[in-house]
Amino acid sequence: MTYAKRYGDNKRDSKISQFLEEIDYTKNPNIYFITPRADPISIKEDSIKGLIRQNYISEIISDLHRNDYGKVLPKLMLLEKLEGKEPKSIVQNLKELDYEAILKQIEEGEIKKEKIIEEELTFSASQFTTYKRCPRIYKYNYVYRIPTLPKPYFDLGGTVHNVIEELSKKIMEGEPIDIHLAIRYLKAFWKGEGYTTEKAEREAMDDAVEILDTFIQEQQNMGTTIVEAEKNFTIKLEKYSIRGFIDRVDKDGDDYIIWDYKTSKTPMSENELRKDFQLLIYDMAVQQLFGKRPKQVGLWYLRQNKKVVIEPKDEEIQKIKDQILETITKIMDEDFTPKPGWECGNCDYAILCDEKEKLS
Ligand code: SF4
């Protein structure tokens, strides 16, 4: 187990996990506790260097997308310098290029566009959802692997998911759950660094407690049995493997029901759900895990305590299989045609993408 006194660019030190406090990690004779020696100056220098490097890379990609090639070379030279190399070597290498010969080779078809991606055989369910949102987001995220800026807000949804997963495990073990236990887990998973004021943190904590309280009350009325929580799966579709996690699988008599928890504010409609990659992939996963198609798949909106449920039809599953294979073919053909629209407003890569500007 490890912890850091302070993470990333946070202004405040981090709270130590409740689990570490419970085992009294500094005094516990069964624990070998070490504080690695770290030179704060070199850590700071490394992190600043990494940030500058990331900034240059983002700018270079942005320049390329804008056809602003003239700005690329100086930035490449600065990158070389940052890596401790000789920046002039880039220009010297360029001098040695025989442009006429290269142009001739392009015209005669000897130089073809290089493929940037290797054939991939394993995908995650969320890759297809990303491609559907916008193929260019897919390219930035999964091909170029450009990290997104850290979000200043705290991931309340993720923490609530973690708490519910622990509560579900307790239920599966036959143990009782209540709001006090939920709050203990919440405090253990809580990371307050994203908040700028104590008031904002307190309000978020109250919000999370309310969501958990609603969940616990609803759980008491559920007539089904939880059989899996945060179940990971890999399914086969032709030669491809698709990986993912199912939040929860319930058993109702001999039938299975899949739940995906949501903390978002706007529920999906049943019609949208019928075309949702993720949920229908979970349907296929349950069939492969338990040898039987689930009776229902649904989204459980924790905030509103609203459930949107469908009984997927065979033809809908077949359609989603066809769409997955079609999406894989497009990815392999490097078809990342952008799909500008309302997604641009929420896009982490909008700063790199020229399509958003065209919309305004
Ligand atoms: S800004 Fe719009 S078009 Fe560009 S990657 Fe994002 S969603 Fe796609």
Tell whether the model's pLDDT for residue 274 goes beyond 80. Answer: yes
pLDDT tens figures, 53-77: 878 888 888 788 777 888 888 888 8
SS3 246: strand
What one-letter code names the amino acid at 321? Answer: K
pLDDT at 209: 96
Residue linked to tokens 């290498």: 93
- Binning pLDDT at 50, 70 and 90, where does residue 349 land? confident
pLDDT tens figures, 307-344: 999 998 899 999 999 999 999 999 998 899 999 988 88
Which atom belonging to ligand 1 lies closest to the Cα atom of 349?
Answer: 6
Q: Is the CB of 340 under 6 A from ligand 1?
A: yes
- Binning pLDDT at 50, 70 and 90, where does residue 125 land? confident
Better-predicted residue by pLDDT, 296 or 350: 296
Average pLDDT over every residue of 240-257: 93
The model's pTM: 0.66
Distance between Cα 245 and ligand 1 center (Å)? 27
Tally the C-alpha atoms within 13 A of residue 31's C-alpha that lie toward its C-beta: 14
Distances (CA, A) of 220 to 74, 129, 260: 64, 33, 18
Distance between Cα 160 and ligand 1 center (Å)? 29
pLDDT at 357: 63
**What is the signed CA dihedral for 38, 41, 45, 48, rounded to 10 degrees?**
90
pLDDT at 95: 76
Q: Find all residues with CB under 8 Å of 12, minimum gap 6, and list them.
A: 6, 192, 193
pLDDT at 165: 92
Residue linked to tokens 């798949």: 297
Q: Is the CB of 349 under 6 A from ligand 1?
A: yes
Distance between Cα 274 and ligand 1 center (Å)? 25
pLDDT at 4: 80
pLDDT tens figures, 131-146: 999 999 999 899 888 8
Distance between Cα 272 and ligand 1 center (Å)? 21
Tell whether the model's pLDDT for residue 8 goes beyond 70. Answer: no
Question: Which of 58, 133, 134 most suits a substitution to test ligand 1, by most atoms within 8 Å of the C-beta?
Answer: 134
Residue 224: count other Cβ atoms within 10 Å of its Cβ.
15
Cα maximum dimension of the chain: 77
Residue 359: count other Cβ atoms within 10 Å of its Cβ.
10
Q: Which two tokens stand for residue 14?
A: 């981090």
Q: Which two tokens stand for residue 166?
A: 């622990």
Average pLDDT over every residue of 200-225: 93
- 15 phi-psi bin (left φ>0, alpha ψ -120 to 50, beta other): beta
Mean pLDDT over the full length of the chain: 85
What one-letter code names the amino acid at 228? Answer: E
Distance between Cα 219 and ligand 1 center (Å)? 39
What one-letter code names the amino acid at 258? Answer: I
Residue 316: count other Cβ atoms within 10 Å of its Cβ.
16
Q: Is the CB of 350 under 6 A from ligand 1?
A: yes
Question: Which of 133, 141, 144, 339 most suits a substitution to test ligand 1, by most atoms within 8 Å of the C-beta?
Answer: 339
pLDDT at 276: 85
Q: Is the CB of 348 under 6 A from ligand 1?
A: no
Q: State the DSSP string of 310-333.
A: E---HHHHHHHHHHHHHHHHHHHT
Residue owning the nearest CA to atom 7 of ligand 1 = 344
State the alpha helices, DSSP H only, in 221-296. Answer: 270-273, 277-290
State the Rg of the chain over Cα: 25
Q: Is the CB of 356 under 6 A from ligand 1?
A: yes
What is the rounded distance in angstroms from the CA atom of residue 354 to the CA atom of residue 360?
A: 11
